[in-house]
A and B are shown apart, each in its own frame.
Chain A
Amino acid sequence: MKKIIHFFSAVKLAIVLIILLVAASIMGTLIPQGRDMAEYAARYGRLGEPLVRLQFTNIFRSVWFLGLMAVFELNIIACTLTRLGAKVQRARKPKIESDPKDLASFKIKDRLRMSAGLDAAKERAVEALKEAHYRVRTAEEKAGNENKSGGRFNVFGRKRIDGIFGSDIVHLGLLVIIAGGILTGIGGFRAELILNPGETKDVPRAGFSVRLERFDTEMYPGGGVKDWKSTVTIVENGRDARKQVIEVNHPLVHKGFSLYQMAYGMNWDAATLTLRIARKAAAEGAAEKSGEASAGPKKEMKPETETRRPAAAQPAPDEPRIIKAKVGEVMPLGDADGTEILVRSFIPDFVLGENNVPESRSLEANNPAAYVEGRRGGKKVVEGWVFAAYPEVTRLKGDAAAEYAIEFRDLDAPQYSVLQAAKDPGVPLIWLGCLLIMAGLILAFYRPTWEIRMVLEAAGGAGRELGASGKTEITAGGVAAKSRDGLEAEFARIIAGLRSSK
């Protein structure tokens, strides 16, 4: 047991652990964390698999990192406790007597002779220390202790004893923070809530639900997002309990749960597309068609297309029409033929995936595309992809493709809000730990403990009566673990004061 305590209480162990933690942390920022196996295989080749297996790809949650932290924690506890006893002893019952020979080995030291009796000299020394705000204790060693030289006074002055506990308080703070982290890991809980305006969802485990009244994105006049705001109502037992706006940096806290504005997105399923559809004169259409046909033969360019055209050829070119449609909605175009327009599907970020199947690269509207169909009398006569960003790419097919010009003009989708619901029982401990660390640092750095020891002896050596010669020899020394130069100056001042006093 003793050996174990000895092992864990060594500062050298702390040094080694800190170096290991630093090395692990550096690796944790150089190796991308928490990606999938394929990415590591691509990045590191054959090293990928062992890296994943040794948890180098999830270092901060790895068994060995947590183990390192656990040893570090034991180390802090052992280091602090083994030194605390002596410190408390030093604070409560300091050794007042000093040996002049020891004082001679101090880095801050001096000797002087006062032309005053022992009692008077002692009073002046105590006075001088008290004036400099030292807490003074004295001890008398009576003459008559035959082996020793005459009577002797020990004066012990000390200030800011709380400073020696600074490091212990910092360590305690660290332990509290680690405990808070463990509590977060065990009892912490977070969940994402995706809410469309008007939607109500249960906050998991919280016993209440949240309804998104509205979600607003505020923009700066010059562009750029100013704020995301979710106006929410907390619903408890079917009743509206409170209404509040959640913004980034302004979470809502309710019954130990915090709701944060995390993200937002576009609800593309409910997108409204604005299409501009023009009917062209048949002749015009034919000209274009044939031009295209000569440019590059296409499958849909079958002779039948040409033969059918006369049917649609009578009306003059209609005025272009603007249609606002949702996906799956059939909208009448309002032309003479009774064309109906249907947006079959919508892709916010169009890309041709495997086997040339269209898919969305992201959920951002980087390349919005719609598959539009036109029907006449229940029969599909035109269809094709239209692109908002690249109108020139549009290629329509179908029997009457040549008669229609379809442009994808605009896009509007309701935004949904992503809230994070979190309950973290570790948080109060984290703040307590932070307070302790800061208090401890201030004590450790700005409350340096200073001690001044003095031994007063009647001058003249052995055999004399106490104070009989009227002269007193003072040996003094100062101890400061920190800010020694400060004590050095103060010590010199105090000694000089005693020297000049008569």
Chain B
Amino acid sequence: MTEATFFTAAFVLYVVSALCYLAFQFGRKAGAATAGLAAAGAGLIVHAVALVLRTIQSGHAPFTNMYESMSFLAWAVVLALVIIEAKFKVPRAGSYVMLIAIAVMALASSPLMPKEAAPLVPALQSYWLWLHVSVTLLGEAFFAIAFVTSIMYLRAKDPEKRDKMDSVSYRCVSIGFPLFTLGGLVFGMVWAEKAWGTYWSWDPKEVWSLITWFVFALYLHTRIVMGWKGKRSAIIAILGFLAALFTFFGVNYLLAGLHSYV
């Protein structure tokens, strides 16, 4: 079986998971949420097989073009959901997060995205590719969950649910922010120093990572030092995720720079 088969199987499992979570949302049956989590977990494993096969087939890390990195991003988002679900029990976020993962995978498999496993250009031939991209995308995956729970906070009426969403958003940021700092900025700088001879060159992707970092720094400072919570925190978390999204997609398509590999 090829990578594409596993990719499709994972996609189907994610759709099943989203449907279960939707059923939970409307039917309020706890069993549906459990089934949703199980399907997401199964999809995660199948998707991991797809990523491993891709790695074996191409001989390099599975995130060197848009198709690969989006597939990995979807995987990371589901992984983050499973972790957050296990730790903080937010089944109501499940359907939205799964829909994001499904959308990312659908976009990845759209004909617009180049899929061929091209051989690696010299600049990408480094183990830092693994570290830099995987850790950054994992951090962004937690930002994605914070984004979902922040939107849910803004839409929720029940105070208890609002409190829960606010707290889960913060927990996601507190996992995502160190990961993003390490993967995106620190590993990025180390690699840039090795490959380009300068740790920082104000390349658009670098600047947008910094912007994303600043927005989440703003989130943390307003929250921890100034005691902002709830609505204002939620809005900053949403902006932060949008900045991360722009760093990932927008920069590649709208702004030219050193990072235009994918």
Is the CB–CB distance between A28 and B186 below 8 Å?
A: no
B110 to chain A, nearest CB (A): 24
Is the CB–CB distance between B121 and A224 below 8 Å?
A: yes
Decide: A14 near B221, CB < 8 A? Known: A22-B214, A249-B122.
yes
Bound-complex Cα distance A146 to B156 (A): 54
1/0 per residue, CB under 8 A from B, across A173-200: the answer is: 0000000010000000010000000000
Is the CB–CB distance between A251 and B125 below 8 Å?
A: no
Indicate if B49 sits at the interface (CB-CB under 8 A): no
Is the CB–CB distance between A224 and B119 below 8 Å?
A: yes
Is the CB–CB distance between A25 and B207 below 8 Å?
A: yes
> Contacts of A434 on B, CB cut-off 8 Å?
185-186, 189-190
Is the CB–CB distance between B197 and A228 below 8 Å?
A: no
Is the CB–CB distance between B226 and A22 below 8 Å?
A: no
Contact check: which of A22, A445, A485 meets B178 at CB < 8 Å?
A445
Count A/B pairs, Cβ under 8 Å: 105
Indicate if A393 sits at the interface (CB-CB under 8 A): no
Is the CB–CB distance between A445 and B195 below 8 Å?
A: no
A482 to chain B, nearest CB (A): 7
B216 to chain A, nearest CB (A): 10
> Contacts of B210 on A, CB cut-off 8 Å?
25
Is the CB–CB distance between B221 and A420 below 8 Å?
A: no
Is the CB–CB distance between B189 and A430 below 8 Å?
A: yes
A400 to chain B, nearest CB (A): 49
Bound-complex Cα distance A251 to B202 (A): 21
> Contacts of B25 on A, CB cut-off 8 Å?
none
Bound-complex Cα distance A60 to B196 (A): 19
> Contacts of A167 on B, CB cut-off 8 Å?
224
Is the CB–CB distance between B218 and A11 below 8 Å?
A: no
**A127-135, A374-382, A435-443: which lies at the B interface?**
A435-443
1/0 per residue, CB under 8 A from B, across A232-266: the answer is: 00000000000000011111000000101110000
Is the CB–CB distance between A29 and B255 below 8 Å?
A: yes
Indicate if A168 sits at the interface (CB-CB under 8 A): no
Decide: A15 near B211, CB < 8 A? Known: A260-B197, A438-B182, A441-B178.
no
> Contacts of A430 on B, CB cut-off 8 Å?
189, 193, 199
Bound-complex Cα distance A15 to B219 (A): 10
Interface residues of B in 186-231 (CB under 8 A from A): 186, 189-190, 193-200, 202, 204, 207-208, 210-211, 214-215, 217-218, 221-222, 224-226
Is the CB–CB distance between B122 and A19 below 8 Å?
A: no
Interface residues of A in 428-477 (CB under 8 A from B): 430-431, 434, 437-438, 441-442, 445
Contact check: which of B119, B123, B200, B211 meets A248 at CB < 8 Å?
B123
A225 to chain B, nearest CB (A): 6
Indicate if A18 sits at the interface (CB-CB under 8 A): yes
Is the CB–CB distance between B125 and A248 below 8 Å?
A: yes
Using CB atoms, name the residue of chain A closest to B204: A29
Is the CB–CB distance between A249 and B126 below 8 Å?
A: yes
A203 to chain B, nearest CB (A): 13
Bound-complex Cα distance A18 to B126 (A): 33
Decide: A422 near B204, CB < 8 A? Known: A11-B225, A226-B119.
no
Bound-complex Cα distance A300 to B202 (A): 56
Is the CB–CB distance between A258 and B122 below 8 Å?
A: no
Is the CB–CB distance between B178 and A427 below 8 Å?
A: no
Bound-complex Cα distance A427 to B195 (A): 14
Indicate if B181 sits at the interface (CB-CB under 8 A): yes
Indicate if B34 sits at the interface (CB-CB under 8 A): no
Decide: A249 near B195, CB < 8 A? Known: A11-B221, A438-B178, A438-B182.
yes
1/0 per residue, CB under 8 A from B, across A1-19: the answer is: 0000000000110110011
Indicate if A481 sits at the interface (CB-CB under 8 A): yes
Using CB atoms, name the residue of chain B closest to A249: B126
Indicate if B174 sits at the interface (CB-CB under 8 A): yes
- Subset of 25 A-B contacts with CB under 8 Å: A11-B225, A11-B226, A22-B211, A25-B207, A30-B255, A33-B202, A222-B119, A224-B118, A224-B121, A226-B122, A248-B125, A249-B126, A251-B197, A260-B195, A430-B189, A430-B199, A431-B190, A434-B189, A434-B190, A437-B181, A441-B177, A441-B181, A445-B174, A445-B175, A482-B224
Given contacts A18-B217, A224-B119, A481-B224, 14 further A-B contacts (CB under 8 A): A14-B221, A15-B226, A22-B211, A25-B208, A29-B204, A33-B202, A167-B224, A248-B125, A249-B128, A262-B197, A420-B197, A422-B198, A430-B193, A430-B199
Point out residues on A near B: beta carbons under 8 Å. Answer: 11-12, 14-15, 18-19, 21-22, 25-26, 28-30, 33, 60, 167, 181, 190, 220, 222, 224-228, 247-251, 258, 260-262, 420, 422, 424, 427, 430-431, 434, 437-438, 441-442, 445, 481-482, 485
Q: Which 7 A-B pairs rank lowest in CB-CB distance, beginning with the nearest?
A: A248-B122, A260-B197, A441-B178, A220-B119, A29-B204, A249-B126, A60-B202
